[in-house]
A and B are shown apart, each in its own frame.
Chain A
């Protein structure tokens, strides 16, 4: 694959600090078009900040993020909102908001002062709700939903944005095993069936290895290493990045590497 042409996003020497604390340190990362890229790494390594910087929620001190070879700092907020969707970690909205009202928020970047809401908006909202399986609960208040239903409603909100790139920050946090799989299968379907470029932050290495096309280990504000799950899931590398000694075996069902952590090294 021609690396240069196929990258939807190119993070170039991005440095970002909160005061004296350096969070991203001249970090570079290509994000291939139409693939699932998973960011993993220990707590505080900068992976969430990187995801937010890709959506320009943080201004970097230096470096740039290119979206289709275009510097995102030159795009306006709504234009970027039509191209990159971001589901924040633990997003919140009023408990008495209905699912449909929540999903409609995703249309914000498509609305202009002169033509506020059209049939295209209705279609996008309906498609997003059907695609995530929340269409039948559209009139329910989000405070009454279970954790899995709520997460699907939020993903529907991001889908309604109709962006080619979708970033999800720890989307399976607080979900039980069944709903974790539900959520990631849904994300995979968006990728395989609609060709969307997906960037995920995941804590669970085994889920990361199972769903990633490109797995990225972030440590100390830098990309420590990136590659396919097969090349990345090595005990020496996991020891180095996560400080855990682990054994790697191949999942007999999915033929993907999984890691069995022993102890803190």
Chain B
């Protein structure tokens, strides 16, 4: 076969052609993070930002930049990257392009854990609530995985059904607690809508290692996830250990979502929207899907966080509300396209 030689060079070239995409995304992320540092209730020039980051002089500029803007300029992209990668894996796991970590009930479970921690166990510190959110997401994934796997085989449909059911249950618990605890309503509502404002930088350093572990696990699963995009019989006949891969994917998803929720609360729909953009840019191989989703997710939440400062200026909107509006719009477009 003479055309084989000609055919061999092409996939390699296709790999190379993605580097401009990654370079553009990396550049976009830098711009978004700079925007997050400079734009807001007060505008600062880049020179001022640079000076303030290293000044530590207690001036107002240094306090705002290093104390308020820097944490959110770091937390927003980290949470976005985590949710983007988690979204890719959830959509592959459920073979459903409109699924997201919300579909598995992870955000709802985290919210429930936060509410219960505050009301039942009297946890008040941001660090404590952050930990509660992470534990909530992890426990939820264990419950959803366990129930779905226990009910005779772990089919994509079962994962979604159990996840959505559990999410409904968790939301109900949150509603009950909210209506009966007016005193803490304001604080809880703020957490429950998801936000990057007023987060101490320590949350970033707590979340970073968890995100890195989750991402590392995700990248070891890429070729199995590629094969899992096909039906179960095909994946199994290729030699994919279905249950093990699904279990490990659940672990990666809950680490990433748990870390994101612990830093920012439930930022809705990021995991739904971002994978679509990532696939459009780099195709369906998970090595690329995950890498692109991390970058796109980081840019998306960072820009949403900047936008949140201006939509009802001078008051800050919760960033979760903005991503929810964008996500709902995207969902409608996706559904219409599917019907067309």
> Footprint of B on A, CB under 8 Å?
52, 55, 57, 76-82, 84-88, 91-94, 96-98, 100-102, 104-106, 108-109, 111, 113, 116, 119, 122-123, 125-127, 129-131, 135, 138, 157, 161
- CB nearest to B236 among chain A residues: A57
Contact B241 A77 (CB under 8 A): yes
**In the complex, what's the smallest C-beta–C-beta distance from B228 to chain A, in angstroms?**
10
Contact B3 A55 (CB under 8 A): no
In the assembled complex, B226 has its CB within 8 A of some CB on chain A = yes
Instruction: Give Cα A79–Cα B241 distance, bound, in whole angstroms.
Output: 12
Chain B 252-297 interface residues, beta-carbon cutoff 8 Å to A = 279, 283-285
Contact A119 B8 (CB under 8 A): yes
**In the complex, what's the smallest C-beta–C-beta distance from B174 to chain A, in angstroms?**
34
Contact residues in B for A101 (Cβ distance below 8 Å): 226, 283-285
Instruction: Give Cα A105–Cα B14 distance, bound, in whole angstroms.
Output: 16
**In the complex, what's the smallest C-beta–C-beta distance from B156 to chain A, in angstroms?**
11
Contact A98 B231 (CB under 8 A): no
- CB nearest to B222 among chain A residues: A116
Could you say which of A77, A97, A104 contacts B239, with CB atoms under 8 Å apart?
Answer: A77
Contact B237 A105 (CB under 8 A): no
- CB nearest to A139 among chain B residues: B14
Could you say which of A81, A92, A96, A113 contacts B284, with CB atoms under 8 Å apart?
Answer: A96
- CB nearest to B220 among chain A residues: A113
Contact residues in A for B239 (Cβ distance below 8 Å): 76-82, 108-109
Contact residues in B for A113 (Cβ distance below 8 Å): 220
Q: How many chain B residues touch A (Cβ–Cβ < 8 Å)?
A: 31
In the assembled complex, B230 has its CB within 8 A of some CB on chain A = yes
Contact A91 B229 (CB under 8 A): no
Contact B3 A130 (CB under 8 A): yes
In the assembled complex, B238 has its CB within 8 A of some CB on chain A = yes
Could you say which of B8, B237, B279, B285 contacts A57, with CB atoms under 8 Å apart?
Answer: B237
Contact residues in A for B226 (Cβ distance below 8 Å): 101, 104-105, 108
Contact residues in B for A104 (Cβ distance below 8 Å): 11, 226, 285
**In the complex, what's the smallest C-beta–C-beta distance from B311 to chain A, in angstroms?**
33
- With A78-B239, A108-B224, A111-B223: A122-B11 Cβ-Cβ less than 8 Å: yes
Contact residues in B for A92 (Cβ distance below 8 Å): 230-231, 234
Contact B236 A130 (CB under 8 A): no
In the assembled complex, B120 has its CB within 8 A of some CB on chain A = no
- With A57-B236, A91-B234, A96-B279: A108-B223 Cβ-Cβ less than 8 Å: yes
- With A126-B8, A127-B1, A127-B4: A86-B237 Cβ-Cβ less than 8 Å: yes
